[in-house]
Structure 1
Amino acid sequence: MSDVNDLTGRLEALEIRVAYQDQTIEDLNATITAQWQELERLKRMIQRLEDQVREAEARAGGPNLPEPPPPHY
Structure 2
Amino acid sequence: MNDDRIIELEIKTAYQEDLLQALNQIVGQQQQQIDRLEATCKMLNERIKSLSSESGGGESVEEVPPHY
* Unaligned residue ranges in structure 2 (runs of 5+): none
Q: 1:55 maps to what in 2?
A: 50
Which letter maps to 1:34?
A: Q
Matched to 1:69, the amino acid is V
Residue 63 of structure 2 corresponds to 68
TM-score, normalising length: structure 2: 0.89
Taking only aligned residues, the RMSD between alpha carbons, in angstroms, comes to 1.5
Give TM-score scaled by structure 1 length. Answer: 0.83
State, as a whole percentage, how many aligned pairs show the same letter.
31
How many residues align? The count is: 68
Instruction: Supply the distance in 2 between the matched residues of 1:40 and 1:62 (Cα, whole angstroms).
Output: 30
2:29 partner amino acid: A
Choose from 8, 15, 18 the match for 1:13.
8
- Deviating runs (4+, > 4 A) in structure 1? none
Greater radius of gyration (CA): 1
Shift of 1:62: 2.1
Match of 2:32 among 37, 53, 64: 37
Shift of 1:72: 5.5
* Distance in 1 separating the partners of 2:40 and 2:46: 10
Q: Distance in 1 between matches of 2:40 and 2:53?
A: 20
Task: State the partner residue of 1:3.
Answer: none
Hey, what's the Cα distance between the residues in 1 that align with 2:67 and 2:42?
A: 40
